Amino acid sequence: MSKFERGLNIAIATIGVAMVAYHLIGVFLHPLEPALHANTHLTFVFLIVFLPALQTALQKGQKLGSLAAAALILLSVLCVVYIYLFHDELVMRTGDPLPRDVVIGSILVILVIEACRRTQGIVLPLFAGIFIAYALFGQYLPRPFYHLPVPFGRLISWFGISLNEGIFGGLIFLSANIIFLFILFGTVLEITKARDFFTMVGIWVGRKISGGPAQTSVASSALVGSITGSPVANIIITGAVTIPLMKKTGFSPAFAAGVEAVASSGGILLPPVMGAVVFMMMGLTGFPYLTICMAALIPALLYYFGIGWSIYLYAKKEKIVPSEEKVDTRVLLRRAPLFIIPFGLIVVLLALQFSPMYAAGWAMVSALALGCISKETRPDLRTLVDALTRGARSAAAISTMMNQIRCVLVHVGTENDRDDLLTQVIGQSAGATQQLETGPVHCAVRLFHEYPDISVFGEIWDRTNGHLTGQSFELA
């Protein structure tokens, strides 16, 4: 490994730790106003995505790839520095950008799409490209797809350089203030060996019910998912233990993988985190946190009950006996506080109407502090740095996806142009336009026309009762 590559390793680790430190400081001090806070988050995201890309290209000897990654890093720095320097002016000329603003905004959109491609694959960037093309050339299409011409500068203002829309719309605050911290919280639970608690509880359940390790997967995935809210993080934490156990006791590899995938996906339904959607609902509707959680709890439990019951029937059919793995009670009791105390802290703080980012920050700090008490669970410095860097990169990957969603799919044409398409589609529904415009079909067409996944709730609210802005998530 050359000195330059070693330097890149140090730079990536430094940026990862600095990203974590900045967001933790932001939990308690709020040092920057929302737009600059979003820009700082975006700075870290670009660097933590493109620096490893440069490192990989150098290791593979790809000169063109190395030059491309270096150019992306330089352009990232240029764009975020520009926003820092001209923040006040950009706010004043929203919707009427200068030529230099259009150039920076265009580069920013390209950077977001490329960062998403490098972390999420090609599908979402291709989908984004279709909608950008529609925004640019939809004026040449026949109705109902036609929209009025929109100046390129205004489109770029919507997409990239406006500090309250597009890239800097509400989803970047959700990513920076909530999702980032909860992903890091899951990482801290992993390095402090809180995973042992999930595993032991899952094994105990597997010993009592037919299905053995598959029931272990359901129980442990429910516990982990209730905190991380991320199917990917859930699989990483629990799957390494449960999948080999399922295969060992007679389940096919495909069935074991399927059980783990389905059980881990339920984490987005189970309080207290619920894949961060609960925090969007709380911030936008004004409903108390406990009210939303209680409404979600029974459906989530029914979801896991359905998985467990299906495994039970399958195990009976295939004559798979309960697991004989032993539960180490001492380990279970020693690891329990590493999960129960931070988990309880999240629930209590959110119930007391503290912001989700405040609850996640304190839960992360408490989990790390509890882990450092015992030598057995105390991570060494290198393990801690590697884990924080890995968590920062995972969170940055999600952020690139959310930035792209908000950037290119919120303002495809003007509001009236999109309403024209919507009205014509609804108008074909047997004369029931007036009834459908306020009903579920209206919402369905809106969601199909806009974007799915984590932003669904925000889009429903945006198109019905409220307006999704960065301010909505300033403290959320």
pLDDT of res. 385: 92
pLDDT of res. 159: 81
Spatial distance between the Cα atoms of 344 and 350, rounded to a whole number of angstroms: 10
Spatial distance between the Cα atoms of 219 and 264, rounded to a whole number of angstroms: 10
At a CB cut-off of 8 Å and minimum separation 6, what does 356 contact?
A: 177, 178, 276, 279, 282, 350, 476
pLDDT of res. 145: 80
Q: Low-confidence residues of the chain, pLDDT below 70?
A: 1, 228-230, 232-233, 236-237, 275-276, 279-280, 282-284, 322-324, 407-476
pLDDT of res. 275: 64
> What is the reported pTM?
0.74
pLDDT of res. 100: 92
pLDDT of res. 414: 42
Spatial distance between the Cα atoms of 120 and 399, rounded to a whole number of angstroms: 10
Answer whether 463's CB lies under 8 Å from 446's CB: yes
Instruction: Read off φ and ψ for residue 266, nearest 5 degrees.
Output: -70, -10
pLDDT of res. 442: 38
Spatial distance between the Cα atoms of 290 and 281, rounded to a whole number of angstroms: 12
pLDDT of res. 299: 92
pLDDT of res. 437: 39
pLDDT tens digits along 269-287: 888 777 667 766 766 677 8
Answer whether 42's CB lies under 8 Å from 172's CB: yes
pLDDT of res. 70: 94
Instruction: List the alpha helices (DSSP H) in 138-176.
Output: 152-156, 170-174
